Amino acid sequence: MNWLRNYPKQNYHRTPHQVMTSAVGKNATGLVAATFTPLTSKGEINLAEIGPYVDYLLEQQGVKSIFVNGTTGEGMSLTVEERKLLAAEWCNKAKYKMDNVIVHVGCLSLKDSQELARHAGEIGADGIAVISPSFFKPATADALKQFLQEVAAVAPAVPFYYYHIPAVTGVHLQSRDVLEGIEALIPSFRGLKFSGSDLMDFGQCVSYSPPHWSLLYGMDEQLIGALAMGANGAVGSTYNYLGSRVNKLMSAFNEGDLPMARTIQFQVQDILCYAMDLGFDLAVNKQLMSVVSGLVLGPPRLPLLLCPLPKANSIAQRLQQVLGVQ
């Protein structure tokens, strides 16, 4: 009995971690790196670094799916034109190599979101994701669903994901309310990227979801909790440089080796606690990725400020110490 909220009961008997194939495209599962956007030292997008970035993720981290132009990619700080050029280059370089390229197309303007969604369909993206508008915020889940529906409608053949990240958008609508009846509005709807800490809301989303949706979790520090709730995969910034270790966490979890999965989760937490004590934001995260990977990712875009190198070096050192422990 669902006594938490008064939702109509669904009877999907969903098997955790398994996603059925769907009529529209393929679903994203497993580990997905939310990519940083390479910029030149002058702050222009640096497309030349994208090919090496894709190869780094595949060869050094064993990460086969990416989520581009999202929060980590500073998507909301880029122009529509820049986002198109970046999305096209990520798709081009990942083609035949990666499993999934999901392009985040959310904007404050519905028209801009539609333009990016249409473009993502044209360049062969495997999926699109949309965040809630956050300046004028939707008053209700229905208002948000109308916005999502209008974006999805211009790219009906592209799998669509709703992207929930309340700490950044300030939109605290329950995702479960957003999912209610959504496939009737958006036939291409294929899942949720949930970057919130409310595991009860996430659990209710899993409980409601049909087997052909993917439920992807986005708070890297507590992934194991979401896996226990039935997440099909994870999207996050730290998988850029911790992907190889977190792949082991996922395998351990799937094999029922909870002590191992927990050990790795605690290692991720150790690194993040260390970083947070020093002050951890996207600018620090981006610099850390440059230090760890050797990729030239450049500065963040204003209003974010460049992270001093010694700070990123110090976190990278901690990361090496922690990863040295098997």
Ligand X SMILES: CC(=O)N[C@@H]([C@@H](O)[C@H](O)[C@H](O)CO)[C@@H](O)CC(=O)C(=O)O
Positions marked active-site: 163, 193
Minimum CB–partner distance for residue 172 and ligand X (Å) = 14
Q: Are 90 and 54 in contact (CB under 8 A)?
A: yes
Residue with the shortest CB distance to ligand X: 70
Minimum CB–partner distance for residue 3 and ligand X (Å) = 30
- Which C-beta is closer to ligand X: that of 14 or that of 215? 215
Minimum CB–partner distance for residue 235 and ligand X (Å) = 4
- Which C-beta is closer to ligand X: that of 122 or that of 221? 221
- Within 10 angstroms of residue 281's Cβ, the number of other Cβ atoms is 13
Q: Are 211 and 15 in contact (CB under 8 A)?
A: yes
Can you spell out the DSSP letters for 230-270?
T--EEEESTHHHHHHHHHHHHHHHHTT-HHHHHHHHHHHHH
Minimum CB–partner distance for residue 80 and ligand X (Å) = 18
- Which C-beta is closer to ligand X: that of 14 or that of 63? 63
Q: Please give the sequence-ordered ranges of beta strands (E in DSSP) within 148-210, or none if there are none.
A: 160-164, 189-194
Write out the residues near ligand X by the rule CB under 6 A.
34, 67, 70-72, 167-168, 195, 218-221, 235-238, 272
Q: How many residues appear in the chain?
A: 326
- Which C-beta is closer to ligand X: that of 209 or that of 240? 240
Minimum CB–partner distance for residue 217 and ligand X (Å) = 9
Backbone angles phi, psi at 205, to 5 degrees: -65, -45
- Which C-beta is closer to ligand X: that of 108 or that of 167? 167
Query: How many whole angstroms separate alpha carbon 193 and alpha carbon 313?
Result: 30
Q: Name the residue type at position 317.
A: Q
223: closest CA among 4, 2, 27, 32? Answer: 32
Instruction: Tell me the pairing of strands 127-131 and 233-236.
Output: unpaired
